Structure 1
Amino acid sequence: MNNQTLRMDREQAKKLIELGSRLCQLRQNQGISLHQVAEKTMIPTRLLAAIEAGNLEQLPEPVYIQGFIRRYADVIGMNGAEFASAFPTDADLVVPESSWRGTVQAQLRPLHLYLLYMVLVMGAVGGLSFLLNRSTTPQMVGLTETAQPQAQLTPGTPVVPIGPPAPAQPRATLSQNLSSPQPSVSPSAVQKPIRIGLTLTAQSWIRIEADGKTEYEGVLPEGTQRTWTADKRLTLRAGDAGGVMISFNDSKPKRLGEPGDVEEITFGGDAQANTTPETSRNSESLTASSETF
Structure 2
Amino acid sequence: MTPVPKATPREFGQALKGAREGAGLPLEAISDRTKIGTRTLAALEDGEFGRLPNQVFARMFLRQYLDLVGMPHAEWLPAFDAAWRSFADSSQSFPLDRSIPVKRRRIGPWIIGLALVGAGVAGVLLVERRHDAAPATPAAGSAVLVPAPEPTAPLQPAATPVVGPAPATAPAPATAPAGAPPPSATTLVVKALQAPCWVEVRIAGEQPSSRLLAAGAAWELPAGGKSIDLVLGDAGAASVAYMGSVRSPVGRPGEVARVHLAGAAPPPATP
Same fold (TM over 0.5): no
| TM-score, reference length from structure 1 | 0.38
TM-score (norm 2): 0.40
